[in-house]
Structure 1
Amino acid sequence: MTEMTYRQALHDTLREELLRDENVMLIGEEIGIFDGSYKITAGLLKEFGARRVRDAPISEEGFTGAAMLGLRPVVEIMTINFSLLALDQIVNHAAKIHGMFGGQLGVPMVIRTPGGGGQQLGASHSQNIELYYAFVPGMKVVAPSTPADAKALLMASIRDDDPVLFLENLALYNTKGDVPDHVEPAEIGKAKVTRTGKDLTLIGYSRMALVAQQVADRLAESEGLDIEVVDLRSLRPLDRDTVIESVKKTNAAVVLEDDWLTYGIGAEVAASISDGAFDYLDAPVRRVAMAEVPLPYAKPLETAALPSIDDVVNAVHETLDAVGRRR
């Protein structure tokens, strides 16, 4: 077991996959000579050469369409906001080709891209728009929250024969965690119960899965609450079964997300709980999300707009108070 940052786990996995399969290649803006905007591809151009680590021009629609000729490209889009420029390639083509041609062609492409606010990058560079892609049949969307899961899910994504959007939150790059010395590819579409409990289920993904863990630990210490945490890890396919089984046990749920509340991932999770565990609920499912505004640049306003630990604690209290279950 080795402690490393989320950033290092991604770097090491890319290197290992480049060594494992000569058809794996990296392409994106500034990933080569500059070592990547977030230094995840540091040193890979020097080691593998320009044929396999390719600096791309500022043209997302152009360099996103490279996966139908036998290669397995890992496309780095500098932020998920810029992926909107390649929506036609991703949604109208990559996600559709396998189905439209009866499985004769596939698009084994990974799109690595960070999202999220909190970095004072302004409204057009701080969005969480993974829902756009999780909505589309033919796509897979994963959102690991820890270095270990980042490694296991990136391995699985690169080896998958379908297009995968690999979501990275900017706030996670410097976070640390233990990574096993031998990692197997994760199962895409499988959530993980990261903390067992019986009083309430907290459900999150990416950064908010870590916030859920922090809230559960805090409330255990301060109030003796025994909270279960489910890290979704995958948004399409969505592991409804793990979520529903957890809620059947705890009888209460709060869903966390970094995106907007209206039409968000949390709405889908809440609907899934209603479909599969309605008779087990002692209180309505509550959701915690960011304010429904373009994210402000000013730091105090940006912080106020993003979901916080206190927001989640309040939602837990309101849920348990509704049924008189707080200790």
Structure 2
Amino acid sequence: MLTFQKFVETIDGLEDARVLLAALEFDVFSVLDKKQLTFKQVARKAKTREEGMEALLNALVALGALKKSKDSKFASTPEMYKHFCRSSPHYKQGTAHLKLEKNNEWTQLIGTIRNGRDLSAFEGDDDPAFRHCFSYAMHERSEPYADQIAALLAKKKSIGRFLDLGGGPGSYCAAVLRKDKKAEATLLDRDAACNVARALFSGEKFYNRFHFKPGDLFDSEYGNGFDTVLFSNILHIYNPAENRQLLKKIHKALAPGGRLALVDFFLNEDRTAPYEAALFSLTMLLFTATGKTYTFKETEALLNKAGFGKITTHKLNEGSHVLVAHKK
């Protein structure tokens, strides 16, 4: 049960978040790089007022994101330099961009609950620049789970011809191709996402088995004869009618006896657990035109109606699961 103290502490945590977001907004970790600078030097490079920057840098030290020397110079911690400095080979450009972008939209939560979704926000063509950054963010988020999913799919039989629908940066394709040396993988996504996948994996030994199909989930043909199709974190974007359309296309693309691996957050029947899935319902309210988090039973019903059976459930981390279903 949520206590009064935890309630207050959780809301107060927004202050810490705002401090870190300000650091990203002013690119503090890139300004510092591997150097030690005074607050005046940082303010000059970041084009801010000295007073505000001094207060921000001291707060970042208090949070453990920066270090401060006895002569009042500031430096990044190794962790912050590694992930949030642009000169670092491990710079998480997608995560940094997405955290800033999503923060702005989360401020609209109260208005969205009161008045409904602003559907005008979803009009127009896809923005390639956003898709580029989003794809990197998805790689940074997906990479820890990609090997786990590849191992699950390769556990009892070969993955074979593999189709990753809307797979963004191709993290799952890469994991599958590393795990199954005979597999062939096709990534279907927008041009910007396919370009990120090429940049990430063109130097890998498996690259000659990695194929790209730039396109749209609804408008493009998937092909046929695939042994395994991955539908990862797509279900929650769309309403039931839209998902039925996509699942029928997947069914058609699979070879006889082929399987679909559906990765997502899933809710229990009372829609209050697990916590991550319940919270994700609010995320979908803000960031999609019609999406939501589905329950296990709702998802199984969609799969059955599209011609899938023999459904098994496998738990991942953070409230996420894989449903593996076979073509009837």
Common fold: TM-score over 0.5? no
Which structure: larger Rg? 2
Normalised by the length of structure 1, the TM-score is: 0.31
Larger RCO of the pair (alpha carbons < 8 Å, separation 6+): 1
Normalised by the length of structure 2, the TM-score is: 0.31
Higher helix content, 1 or 2: 2
